[in-house]
Amino acid sequence: MEGPATISDQQSVIRLQALTRGFISRRRNKAVFDTTTDRLCPYVPTPEPIVKGALFHLGIKECDVFVDLGCGDGRVIIAAVEQFGCKAIGVELDSALADQAERSASMLRQRNHEVSSRISIVHGSYLHESVHSIVHDASIIWMFLTPRAQTDVIEQVLRKCTDGTRIASFVFPLPSLFIPDSVIDLSQYMTGQMNKLYIYTIINPDNL
Q: How many domains are contained in the chain?
A: 1
| Per-residue model confidence as pLDDT tens digits over 34-91 | 333 333 347 888 988 899 999 999 999 999 999 999 999 999 999 999 999 999 999 9
- In a 10 Å sphere around its CB, with 0-12 CB exposed, 13-18 middle and 19+ buried, how is residue 107 labelled? exposed
DSSP assignment letter at 4: B
Average pLDDT taken over every residue of the chain: 83
Q: Identify whether 142 is part of a domain.
A: yes
Residues linked to residue 39 through DSSP beta bridges, in sequence order: 4
Indicate which CATH number applies to the domain containing 72: 3.40.50.150
Element (H, E) at 37: none
Task: Kindly report, residue by residue over 168-200, the tens digit of the pLDDT.
Answer: 999 999 987 789 999 999 999 887 777 899 999
Percentage of the chain with pLDDT > 90?
59
DSSP label at residue 206: G
Q: What is the pTM of this model?
A: 0.82
Q: What is the 3-state secondary structure (H, E, C) of 106-131?
A: HHHHHHCHHHCCCEEEEECCCCCHHH
- Residue 182 domain-assigned (yes or no): yes
**pLDDT tier for residue 148 given thresholds of 50, 70 and 90:** confident
Q: State yes or no: pLDDT of 129 exceeds 70.
A: yes
DSSP β-bridge partners for residue 198: 169, 183
Nearest CA-CA partner of 65 in 107, 118, 102, 126: 118
Does residue 17 lie within any of the structural domains?
A: no
- The partner residues of 63 in beta bridges, in order of sequence, read none
Question: What number of CA atoms fall less than 13 Å from residue 175's CA on the CB side?
Answer: 11
Residue numbers of the domain that contains 89: 43-207
Please check whether residue 78 lies inside any domain of the structure.
yes
Question: Rounded to whole angstroms, how far apart are CA atoms 97 and 3?
Answer: 19
**How many residues are there in the chain?**
208
Q: Pick the closest to residue 140 from 53, 186, 77, 73 (CA basis).
A: 77
